[in-house]
Amino acid sequence: MSHITGIVQVLGAPAAIGPDTGAPPTSPGVWELAFAHTPAPGGTKLVMLHFQNVNLPGTNRLEVDLGYDTDVFTAADGAAFWTRPVNVNAFGGGTIPVRYVEVGGAGGSAEIDRYGRGERHDGGPGHPSFSNSDPFLPDPVYTEPTYDPFWFCRPPPNWENVRCIPAADLRAQVARSVGMIVSIHLPDTYSPVEYVSTCTVTLVDADKVISAGHCHSPAEALTSSVTFDYETDCAGNRLAGYNAMFHKVAAALQQRYDSGYDYSLLQLKTAPPGIAPIQLRHDLPDVGEQVFGIHHPNGAVKKISLPHASFATVTARNAMGVRVPTTFHVSGGSSGSGLFDAAGRIVGVLSNGAPCAGSQLLYFPTATILTEIAPAPPPPVTRDVVLVIDRSGSMDEPDGTGRRKIDAAKDAVSLFVQLVQADTGNRVGLVSFSSTAGAPTFAIAAVTGANKNTLIGGPPYAGGVIGSLTPGGATSIGGGLDAARGQFPMPGANPRAILLLTDGLQNRAPSIESVEPALEGIAVHAIGLGSDSNLDSMLLSTLAGAHGGLYTRASGGLALLKFFSQAFGNIFEAGVLLDPERDLPANQDAPPLSLRVCGEERLTAVVGWDRTDASLLVRLRTPAGNVVPMGAPGVESSMGRNWVYLRVPLPQGAERDGVWQVEVLRPGGSEFPPPAPALRYFVSVIPAGGPRLLREPEEYERNRAYTGDDLSPLLRLRQANGDWPHHVAMTLTVSRPDAGIGNLLSEHGLGPEQVVNGDVLPARQATLQAIEANGPAIRYIDEQFILKEDAANTRGAFEAAGSLGIALPDYLRMEGNYTFHARATYGECDGMRELVWTMHVDVGIDGGRTLVSTEPLGADADGRDCLRLTFTPRDRYGNRFGPGRAADMTVAPRTGTVLTSPVTDLGNGSYRVDLCWDLAAGEPPGITIGQPGRPPVVVGPAERRLYVYSVTFVCGEQRDNCCGCTPVRPGSYGTEINIHNVGNTAAPVLKRIIPLVFAGAVIGREPQVATVKTAAVITLPPHAATMDDCCRLQEMLLGAAVDTVALTTGVLEIISTVELAVTAVYTREDGAIDVRAIAPRRL
Any domain includes 137? no
Q: How far apart are CA 194 and CA 192, in angstroms?
A: 7
Share of the chain above pLDDT 90, in %: 77
Tell me the CATH number at 735: 2.60.40.10
Task: Specify whether the CB–CB gap between 15 and 33 falls below 8 A.
Answer: yes
Single-letter residue type at 419: L
pLDDT digits (tens, 9 = 90+) for 566-575: 999 999 999 9
| Closest C-alpha to 618, from 667, 561, 668, 555 | 667
How confident is the model at residue 1060, as a pLDDT? 97
Any domain includes 746? no
Q: How far apart are CA 1048 and CA 1069, in angstroms?
A: 16
Strands 384-390 and 427-433: parallel
Any domain includes 493? yes
Task: Specify whether the CB–CB gap between 988 and 1057 falls below 8 A.
Answer: yes
How confident is the model at residue 1003, as a pLDDT? 94
Tell me the CATH number at 511: 3.40.50.410
Any domain includes 710? yes
| 237-246, 284-293, 689-698: segment of lowest average pLDDT | 689-698
Any domain includes 769? no
Q: How far apart are CA 181 and CA 131, in angstroms?
A: 15
Residue 699 has pLDDT above 80, yes or no: no
Assess whether 459 and 547 both reside in one domain.
Answer: yes
How confident is the model at residue 593, as a pLDDT? 96
Residue 317 has pLDDT above 90, yes or no: yes
How confident is the model at residue 81, as a pLDDT? 98
Higher pLDDT: 161 or 1040? It is 161
Q: Is residue 510 classed exposed, middle or buried when 0-12, 13-18 and 19+ CB atoms within 10 A define those classes?
A: middle
How confident is the model at residue 267, as a pLDDT? 97
Any domain includes 195? yes
Q: Is 134 helix (H, G, I), strand (E, B) or coil?
A: coil
Residue 1013 main-chain phi, psi, to 5 deg: -100, -30
How confident is the model at residue 1046, as a pLDDT? 86
Structural domain count, the chain: 7
How confident is the model at residue 780, as a pLDDT? 94
- Please report which helix (H) or strand (E) contains residue 359, including its range: strand 359-365
Confidence label for 505 from pLDDT (cuts 50, 70 and 90): confident
Q: How far apart are CA 533 and CA 541, in angstroms?
A: 16
Tell me the CATH number at 108: 2.60.120
- B/e letters for 938-971, b = 16+ CB within 10 Å, e = fewer, are ebbbeebebbbbebebbbbebeeeeeeeeeeeee
How confident is the model at residue 78, as a pLDDT? 96
SS3 content of the chain, % helix, strand, coil (to 5): 15, 40, 45
Give the residues across from 1081 on adjacent strands: 948
| CA 526 from centre of chain | 20
Give me the torsion for CA of 877, 881, 882, 888, rounded to 10°.
170
Over residues 19-47, mean pLDDT: 95
Assess whether 621 and 527 both reside in one domain.
Answer: no
Tell me the CATH number at 937: 2.60.40
Q: Is residue 974 classed exposed, middle or buried when 0-12, 13-18 and 19+ CB atoms within 10 A define those classes?
A: middle
How confident is the model at residue 698, as a pLDDT? 76
How confident is the model at residue 670, as a pLDDT? 59
pLDDT digits (tens, 9 = 90+) for 881-913: 999 999 999 999 999 999 999 999 999 999 999
Residue 376 has pLDDT above 60, yes or no: no
Tell me the CATH number at 627: 2.60.120.380
Assess whether 534 and 663 both reside in one domain.
Answer: no
Domain-terminating residue out of 322, 338, 373: 373
Over residues 95-121, mean pLDDT: 95
Q: How far apart are CA 36 and CA 915, in angstroms?
A: 86
Q: Is 173 helix (H, G, I), strand (E, B) or coil?
A: helix
Q: What is the 3-state secondary structure (H, E, C) of 722-750?
A: CCCCCCCEEEEEEEEECCCHHHHHHHHCC
Any domain includes 141? no
How confident is the model at residue 375, as a pLDDT? 57
Domain-terminating residue out of 657, 688, 719: 688
How confident is the model at residue 51, as a pLDDT? 98
Single-letter residue type at 1014: T
How confident is the model at residue 843, as a pLDDT? 97
pLDDT digits (tens, 9 = 90+) for 950-966: 999 999 999 887 667 88
Assess whether 435 and 451 both reside in one domain.
Answer: yes
Over residues 1022-1046, mean pLDDT: 89
Assess whether 31 and 43 both reside in one domain.
Answer: yes
Kindly give the residue spans of alpha helices, DSSP state H, lying in 964-1071.
Answer: 1030-1038
* Residues making up the chain, counted from first to last: 1083
Share of the chain above pLDDT 70, in %: 98
Assess whether 565 and 619 both reside in one domain.
Answer: no
How confident is the model at residue 141, as a pLDDT? 97
How confident is the model at residue 1064, as a pLDDT? 98
Assess whether 734 and 819 both reside in one domain.
Answer: yes
| Closest C-alpha to 333, from 365, 367, 372, 294 | 294
Assess whether 566 and 430 both reside in one domain.
Answer: yes
- Domain containing 282 equals 149-373
Task: Specify whether the CB–CB gap between 705 and 841 falls below 8 A.
Answer: yes
| Closest C-alpha to 950, from 990, 999, 997, 1005 | 990
| Closest C-alpha to 554, from 543, 545, 565 | 565
Assess whether 477 and 605 both reside in one domain.
Answer: no
The mean pLDDT of the chain is 92
pLDDT digits (tens, 9 = 90+) for 125-178: 777 889 999 999 999 999 999 998 888 888 899 999 999 999 999 999 999 999
Residue 551 has pLDDT above 70, yes or no: yes
- Quote the radius of gyration of the chain (alpha carbons, Å): 36
How confident is the model at residue 700, as a pLDDT? 55
How confident is the model at residue 796, as a pLDDT? 87
How confident is the model at residue 963, as a pLDDT? 64
Any domain includes 610? yes
Domain-terminating residue out of 688, 708, 727: 688
Residue 491 has pLDDT above 70, yes or no: no
Query: Where do the DSSP E strands lie in 921-999?
Result: 927-931, 934-939, 947-958, 971-981, 987-998
Strands 780-786 and 729-737: antiparallel
How confident is the model at residue 668, as a pLDDT? 76
Task: Specify whether the CB–CB gap between 991 and 1054 falls below 8 A.
Answer: yes
| 243-257, 510-524, 686-700: segment of lowest average pLDDT | 686-700
Query: Where do the DSSP E strands lie in 434-521?
Result: 437-446, 496-502
Residue partners of 801: CB distance under 8 A and separation at least 6:
213, 214, 215, 217, 257, 716, 724
Residue 492 has pLDDT above 90, yes or no: no
Confidence label for 723 from pLDDT (cuts 50, 70 and 90): confident
How confident is the model at residue 701, as a pLDDT? 56
Over residues 993-1007, mean pLDDT: 93
Assess whether 588 and 628 both reside in one domain.
Answer: yes
Task: Specify whether the CB–CB gap between 186 and 728 falls below 8 A.
Answer: no
Q: Is residue 85 classed exposed, middle or buried when 0-12, 13-18 and 19+ CB atoms within 10 A define those classes?
A: buried
| Closest C-alpha to 1016, from 998, 991, 988 | 991
Assess whether 623 and 729 both reside in one domain.
Answer: no
| CA 613 from centre of chain | 45
Confidence label for 702 from pLDDT (cuts 50, 70 and 90): low
Q: Is the pTM of this model over 0.85?
A: no
Tell me the CATH number at 281: 2.40.10.120
Over residues 799-810, mean pLDDT: 90
How confident is the model at residue 940, as a pLDDT? 92
Assess whether 932 and 1021 both reside in one domain.
Answer: no
Q: How far apart are CA 758 and CA 431, in angstroms?
A: 20
